[in-house]
Homo-oligomer: A and B are copies of this chain.
Amino acid sequence: MSDDGQTRAEKLASEIADAILDGTFEPGSRLDEHMLAARYGTSRTPVREALRQLAATGLIDLRPRRGAIVALVTSDQLEVLFVAMGELEATCARLSALSMTPIERRRLEVLQDAMGDLVAQNDVAAYTAANTSFHTLFYTGCHNPVISEMAIGLRRRLAPFRQAQFRAVGRLARSHAEHAVVVGAVLAGNASAAHAAMLRHVSLVEDAFEELRNVPA
């Protein structure tokens, strides 16, 4: 069996979430319970439970008696989400400056150096992967699972809109330079500087997104 101790509803929630995030279910499309049940080879009951779980994360919109649709984010809502994520990431950086252990600070330093090499080699794929690790360090480093889970949830929701962030020329070097400011503040234990630096960093990422978005495809 492929049963990992999880219940059907939980696996369904995870699979449906993946399907939404990878574009299988487009924003605004109806999530028919019968269709989902047939698609995943189960009955409607666990599907309904999974939908409720997803609705709580904001990934889908559940309208009583009118079914579920994949949450469609307007431009305004996207702005709100980006601002929220920026603030949470900045908060993670702030708390990390206050409460990272020496080992965690060392890991941050090492990763920052390694990413410098990736910039020199202009290895976009590896840098993108390392960038995820970079931010993950702050999620764990803030030692506050409540905040980090909120941030992770927002990052997941925004993932589809962040695909091309390192494509523009010079982005890598710029990102790395911004990271350096954040790392410096955190290692120095300067909470407010860490907050400001991370906020500036993620705001610039958001700007990069806006640029890509406002250019006709």
**Stretch in A20-28, A30-38, A83-91 with 4+ CB within 8 Å of B:** A83-91
4 cross-chain pairs, A with B, having the tightest CB-CB distances, nearest first: A56-B56, A84-B146, A7-B64, A87-B91
B residues less than 8 Å from A155 (CB atoms): none
B residues less than 8 Å from A185 (CB atoms): none
The count of identical subunits is: 2
Q: Is A128 in the interface zone, CB < 8 Å from B?
A: no
Q: Is A135 in the interface zone, CB < 8 Å from B?
A: no
B residues less than 8 Å from A7 (CB atoms): 64-65
Which among B64, B83, B95 is the interface contact of A95 at CB below 8 angstroms? Answer: B83
21 sampled A-B residue pairs with Cβ under 8 A: A6-B64, A7-B64, A10-B64, A49-B49, A49-B52, A52-B53, A53-B56, A56-B57, A80-B144, A81-B146, A83-B95, A83-B146, A84-B146, A84-B147, A84-B150, A87-B91, A87-B94, A87-B144, A87-B147, A146-B154, A195-B195
Q: What does DSSP make chain A's interface, helix, strand, loop or mixed?
A: helix
B residues less than 8 Å from A84 (CB atoms): 144, 146-147, 150
Question: Count of chain A residues with Cβ under 8 Å from any Cβ of B?
Answer: 34
Q: Is A136 in the interface zone, CB < 8 Å from B?
A: no
Q: Is A190 in the interface zone, CB < 8 Å from B?
A: no
- Residues of A172-210 at the interface with B, using a CB-CB cut-off of 8 Å, are 192, 195-196
